[in-house]
Amino acid sequence: MKKTALVTGILGQDGPYLAKLLLEKDYKVYGLIRRYSNPTFENPEYLGVHDQIEYVDGDLTDESSLINVVKTTRPDEVYNLAAQSFVGASWQQAKLTTEVNALGVLSLLNAIKFFSPTSKFYQASTSEMFGLSNDDGYQDEDTPFHPRSPYGISKVYAYWMTVNFRESYNMFTCNGILFNHESPLRGIQFVTRKITDGVAKIKLGLADDIHLGDLDPKRDWGFAGDYVEAMYLMLQKEEPGDYVIATGQTHSVQDFVEAAFTAVGISDWKKHVKLDPRFQRPAEVPHLRGRVEKSQARLGWKPKVTFEELVKMMVKADIERLEKKEH
């Protein structure tokens, strides 16, 4: 019998990469989608998986819809990737962020507990939970949390609820504490895609500048396609657990900008980058860098794509996309 997986957030960045991996492993993949007037299937289409996913209707803020989906699909594995995932928006929409990212996870865990208790559960936790915690320049599974945004706070709640269902009800629940992971499918608001799209437009003569909030923050950036493999591996272990997934290297926003301009042969990047306070955050997370000893030792997971390869991949994809649009 085919294994089955329910993936929430199937139209985002990670959902289609995970679906591709699971389909290659011969899973049946259910993708949860909430009601949109005009849903866009661009990301699953980009990876060629759209036709193979069975879409099911539901919303993390509507418990009865989750119960219905869990009860009818009874999946072997549930990957909760759905979220209000843009940190910057979480100050303006703190309650919505909390309802989706925190209470939504509680509802999903409850639906599994009552209607499919043997389903294994993956929660998309995040390095944003660490926030200011940066004792020795790294963060790992033992680093205390100090979230800096309503987004980070909502994710800390979901993290602990995931741990609590494991400890209280003996359910197989895991947290993947993923550091920033990017790809050509990244939403245009996130800084990496904003930069690569801007650089592609400048290269093609379609724009002059990129407006950014801050060049100093440092992030541990990896490739989303590598990171979904770690999600899968967590649920294949004998015992559930929580794992940091990262590259172990950190770069500033400025490093990313320089690498993206270099990828198209432009050296005077300063001419094209404007600092714009509209994109600054009320409280910043200055430095993220993950220590990945546990995931390497216990999951055998390692990132494959380097920082430079990632930047080049994203710039190339944006140039191709724009050239296609122009013709």
Binding to ligand G4F, residues 222-261 (CB under 6 A): 253
Asked if 191 touches ligand G4F (CB under 6 A), the answer is yes
Residues 6+ apart with CB under 8 A from 141: 177, 242, 243, 244, 294
Asked if 127 touches ligand G4F (CB under 6 A), the answer is yes
Q: Give the whole-angstrom CA distance, residue 287 versus residue 112.
A: 36
Is the distance from CB of 11 to CB of 82 less than 8 angstroms? no
98 is catalytic: no
Q: Which of 4, 126, 192, 196 is catalytic?
A: 126
Asked if 190 touches ligand G4F (CB under 6 A), the answer is yes
Is the distance from CB of 241 to CB of 295 less than 8 angstroms? no
Asked if 213 touches ligand G4F (CB under 6 A), the answer is yes
Instruction: Find the part of the chain contacting ligand G4F (CB under 6 A) among 33-41, 105-113, 190-198, 234-242.
Output: 190-198
167 is catalytic: no
Asked if 279 touches ligand G4F (CB under 6 A), the answer is yes
70 C-beta neighbours (distance < 10 Å), count: 25
- Nearest distance from C-beta of residue 87 to ligand G4F, angstroms: 4
118 is catalytic: no
Which residues partner with 251 through β-bridges? 219
Instruction: Find the part of the chain contacting ligand G4F (CB under 6 A) among 32-40, 45-53, 63-71, 214-222.
Output: 214-222
| For the chain, the helix, strand and coil percentages under 3-state DSSP, each to the nearest 5 | 45, 15, 40
Contacts with ligand G4F, residue ranges (CB under 6 A): 85, 87-88, 126-128, 179-180, 189-192, 194, 212-214, 217, 219, 253, 279, 281, 284-285, 288
What positions carry a catalytic annotation?
Answer: 126, 128, 151
